[in-house]
Chains A and B, each alone.
Chain A
Amino acid sequence: MELDDVHTILIIGPTSSDKNVDLSTALYDTVDILHQLGYKTSIIVEDPTSLLSSGVFYDKTIVEKVTGDNVLKFVQKYHPDAILPTVGDRNALGIISSLNGKIGSTKVLGASFSASLATFKRELFIKKLTKANLPVIKFISSDDEKEIYSFIRSIGFPIIARRRYSNRHSSGWTNINNLFELDNFMAMEDVSDTRIEIERSIRGFSEYSFTILRDRYDNSSLVGTIEDIEPIGIHHLDSNLISPAISLNDSKLQRLRNYSIKLARAFNIVGICTVHFAYNHTTKESYITEFIPRLSEETKFLEYATSYPIATAVAELCLGYHLDKLQLDAGNYFNGATEPFVDHLTSRFPQWKTPGQKYLGPSKTSDSSIVVNGFSLEEVLNKGALNDKLNNNFDRYNELRKLDDDELFEKIIHPTNWLLDVLSEALRRKFEMPVLSEITGVNVPYLNALQNIINNSLIIREGEIDGKNVERMVEMGVKGVGHSKLLLDSPDIVTKTVVKNKRAVSVGNNTYINHNYFVTSGISNELELSDRKKIIVRTPIITSKTDIMIRQFVLFQLAKSIDQNGLEPIIIGREPWNAPLSMRRKVVEIDDPHMEMKSLGLIKQDSVLNIIDLSKNLVDTEDERVFQFSAQEIKNIELKGDTSVRVMVVTDGNNFLAPSVIYRGKRDNHLYEISSVNNFMTVEDRVEISKLIKQELEDDNKVDIFNFEMVKSNGHWLVTKKYRGMTNDIIRHELASSVHVIDTLVKLLLGNKIDDGLSLEKVFDNFDEKYLLTIDDKRYKLLDKEEIQEKLKELRLKEK
């Protein structure tokens, strides 16, 4: 049944570029299942911290630039049976398309050479799709006027056109809607050797994406659909996304579904394929704009929206498993042949690190995203894109209010990331919906939802609140009314703020258990908790990629440790945490965008042992049980030195452990960092450093984590920085020791103690076998004991 000739697999890992989306959970799930099914996996990765694990899954971890050359080198040296490019983002497909004919009998899983190549080469993409009778935007690149006009006659207006010069540069695309504009464009003076490129214009079309799973036996299922609120022309990941696609009627939905399956078949893609469509609801035209035969931001979003274990399924499908006989872990079967039914909406809306308006266009500018759930459009908009706490919408409102109509209109024509706020303001001024829809390409039902929201906020502003209005507002996810006394005291059965499971009621929809919940409206609660005592972990909103990695890692380790210590982990955040699959069955995860959980009183106070808070600023400092996890600066002395260490310390208030020390040396204009130097520290260093720590901790008598930076000055260590809580360094410390610190912390919070009178060896104990060398904060090497000792000796010799 499975591919019997595949035993060893090389995984093309992610690059460490900031532009990449974070696929760490998908990567973890992929290698986890491969490991459990008995495959030997190796990985090429640039930054080993993106693995979320200390390498137990891997046969070989190669820390190198993820390039075609390095993949080829690996293949020639180790001859893996197969290469898996599904978790390596776009880069991995580029590598696959460059390997054609060079890797002998090594198989490529997932996307074929031609599929990979067609994601880059437009001509091939068009050719393949045309041959398969799939709708693709016709395109011409020619210097022959006759050919150009004949092409235009065949496709009609509107079109977009540009000139491509011999130096491979090109002019920007010009919109051409009629003969007059065409004449103007053609009349422009030609530099010699210029080709004209023309294609059908799809500006303003609605954008949809369909993701299908396909097994080797040609069974396909539509695992999820997404629609963009913003039209084509604005990058998909800069748009507000809604899943499932709710604006397609049956024949439209089935048509796009059939196209998607046909495309995967045409390229013989096994595993996963996301297909993007442009759809014009007026003319009913549809085009395939691109396809993504790998795991991506879309699949990550869908995995959350549908609760279907996509990454795990894809790994198994690639290896030849039947769609209806997949496994969650070795031996635990589930029916993968399902088109998951969801009874609520999941929305992903983009986030920008810096405030202010950003013009939106075909290139992505957003830095991250937040996901929310709800049962109506109004609810997901109010919790997400219009949630003042996340986007400062009230400030936007005040600023937009000052504009005159012309200025506002300008903002409607040139869309920014404030588009929904701008449209709301326009609706307040009674601009007509069909006109707004026509200009912006935002479909009328969304405008209607905005209008509904406006009408209801008017009620709040004008103070006409009664039980009925409050109920309606709760349904719309308006903040602050969620736990209104008015509703709780009502004698009638009313809709109030409740917690619902992510899972809908559907035939046989219980083969992949998880405990994902979201705060929403309804008449009954679904939150089910075990009898175990609980530790609640509260997570803040996160916008930078490094922080996302840290959150992924910390939450995973915390949840694992809480569970292993016999407690129930409850993760509550404004946005969901997509836990690795193995953890999803054990952790209770609650999305609470308006932070209403506390006032709902659904978790019995006396069942909660501790609350670990990951946010920077704490609200409830008076609660003894709250432990602030993230770093607060306590000491910061400006002292530069070429040699320093960073020490991670965990204390029970009495004794402490320091399982990870990072050595840092500036030599010859390069910065070297070595993890886990504990094992090679001199006795003098140990004595001195532990003495310094003891001094620093003198006044602390509670369980806590500390991070120190110590600089070597005149042969002695000096504490220059001190943080209470965990700094971003946590993923720079070698993974195993970080895990150790987090686990120790959980144990100490539960009342365990560190033994008195531990030897210095024990205090600095560290079990690592591989050592991470970081050069200039961006290059990584994974070295073994001898190699690292060599390097350390070299660095120490040059200590001043």
Chain B
Amino acid sequence: MAKEIIDGQTMTRALTRITYEIIERNKGIDDLVLVGIKTRGVFVAHRIESRLKQLENISIPVAELDITPYRDDHEATDLTTVKAEPLDIDINNKHVILTDDVLYTGRTIRAAMDALMSVGRPKKISLAVLVDRGHRELPIRADFVGKNIPTSQKEKIKVSMKEIDGEDKIEIE
């Protein structure tokens, strides 16, 4: 049975805190670009973007990244034949903050970085995630974490977000 471990309020607070940390660790947020990993990472990016706008009155560009073609854990995909979808923003010399809902093995993030590198040359890439659940298989670390949740590999983490699921919560099953 699914058990709610993070409610809507806590999720909202976590996103706000990530936003504060982004401001704190970047003197000037002018060169920031948010890139959300589809699907829920995009909503995470948009929520951070709207918070930055409320606080600093600056609009940060947000792009969506579909990394399904890059996943090396995806079977039967010939990586060489897949061309990255061109991002609709320029990331050259920008500080890109990749956003996703859950950080797990790190393979998704690696694929996302591959995709980013294939379309431009960012100055820096950081990573913001709502949940870090451990079990990394690659040397990847998130710069901004909403919540660290220790899990066993058998457990599943399910993130729901209002935009697509009707409500905000994180469940474990």
Chain A bound to chain B: yes
Chain A residues close to B by CB (< 8 Å): 218, 265, 268
A218 CA to B7 CA in the complex, in Å? 11
In the complex, chain B residues whose CB is within 8 Å of the CB of A268: 167
Least CB separation from A216: chain B residue: B162
A218 CA to B162 CA in the complex, in Å? 11
In the complex, chain A residues whose CB is within 8 Å of the CB of B9: 218
- By the criterion of a CB under 8 Å from any partner CB, how many residues of chain B are at the interface? 4
Which are the 3 A-B pairs with shortest beta-carbon distances?
A218-B8, A218-B9, A268-B167
A265 CA to B169 CA in the complex, in Å? 13
Main SS class of interface, B: helix
In the complex, chain A residues whose CB is within 8 Å of the CB of B12: 218
Which of B1-45 touch A at CB < 8 Å?
Answer: 8-9, 12
Please list 5 pairs of residues, one from A and one from B, whose beta carbons are closer than 8 Å in the complex, sorted by A's number. A218-B8, A218-B9, A218-B12, A265-B8, A268-B167
Least CB separation from B9: chain A residue: A218
A515 CA to B20 CA in the complex, in Å? 45
A-B contact count (CB 8 A): 5
In the complex, chain B residues whose CB is within 8 Å of the CB of A218: 8-9, 12
A218 CA to B166 CA in the complex, in Å? 12
In the complex, chain A residues whose CB is within 8 Å of the CB of B167: 268
Least CB separation from A218: chain B residue: B8
- Whole-angstrom distance between the Cβ of B46 and the nearest chain A Cβ: 15
- Whole-angstrom distance between the Cβ of A233 and the nearest chain B Cβ: 36
A268 CA to B167 CA in the complex, in Å? 9
In the complex, chain B residues whose CB is within 8 Å of the CB of A265: 8
A268 CA to B8 CA in the complex, in Å? 12
A798 CA to B8 CA in the complex, in Å? 69
A591 CA to B120 CA in the complex, in Å? 74
- Whole-angstrom distance between the Cβ of B173 and the nearest chain A Cβ: 16
A265 CA to B168 CA in the complex, in Å? 12
Least CB separation from A265: chain B residue: B8
A265 CA to B9 CA in the complex, in Å? 11
A268 CA to B12 CA in the complex, in Å? 17
A14 CA to B9 CA in the complex, in Å? 36
A265 CA to B12 CA in the complex, in Å? 15
Least CB separation from A268: chain B residue: B167
Least CB separation from A217: chain B residue: B162
- Whole-angstrom distance between the Cβ of A132 and the nearest chain B Cβ: 10
- Whole-angstrom distance between the Cβ of A352 and the nearest chain B Cβ: 46
A265 CA to B4 CA in the complex, in Å? 14
A218 CA to B8 CA in the complex, in Å? 9
- Whole-angstrom distance between the Cβ of A69 and the nearest chain B Cβ: 29
- Whole-angstrom distance between the Cβ of B120 and the nearest chain A Cβ: 35
- Whole-angstrom distance between the Cβ of B150 and the nearest chain A Cβ: 23
- Whole-angstrom distance between the Cβ of A218 and the nearest chain B Cβ: 6
- Whole-angstrom distance between the Cβ of A335 and the nearest chain B Cβ: 18
Which of B126-173 touch A at CB < 8 Å?
Answer: 167
Least CB separation from B12: chain A residue: A218
Least CB separation from B167: chain A residue: A268
- Whole-angstrom distance between the Cβ of A13 and the nearest chain B Cβ: 29
Which of B98-113 touch A at CB < 8 Å?
Answer: none
A265 CA to B167 CA in the complex, in Å? 11
Least CB separation from B7: chain A residue: A265
A265 CA to B10 CA in the complex, in Å? 14
- Whole-angstrom distance between the Cβ of A5 and the nearest chain B Cβ: 15
- Whole-angstrom distance between the Cβ of A236 and the nearest chain B Cβ: 31
A406 CA to B158 CA in the complex, in Å? 67
- Whole-angstrom distance between the Cβ of B157 and the nearest chain A Cβ: 21
A268 CA to B9 CA in the complex, in Å? 14
A150 CA to B9 CA in the complex, in Å? 38
A186 CA to B13 CA in the complex, in Å? 53
A457 CA to B148 CA in the complex, in Å? 68
- Whole-angstrom distance between the Cβ of B53 and the nearest chain A Cβ: 15
A228 CA to B167 CA in the complex, in Å? 36
- Whole-angstrom distance between the Cβ of A659 and the nearest chain B Cβ: 53
- Whole-angstrom distance between the Cβ of A333 and the nearest chain B Cβ: 19
In the complex, chain A residues whose CB is within 8 Å of the CB of B8: 218, 265
A702 CA to B167 CA in the complex, in Å? 67
- Whole-angstrom distance between the Cβ of B11 and the nearest chain A Cβ: 11
A429 CA to B97 CA in the complex, in Å? 79
- Whole-angstrom distance between the Cβ of A692 and the nearest chain B Cβ: 67
- Whole-angstrom distance between the Cβ of B73 and the nearest chain A Cβ: 36
- Whole-angstrom distance between the Cβ of B4 and the nearest chain A Cβ: 10
A268 CA to B166 CA in the complex, in Å? 11
- Whole-angstrom distance between the Cβ of A257 and the nearest chain B Cβ: 15
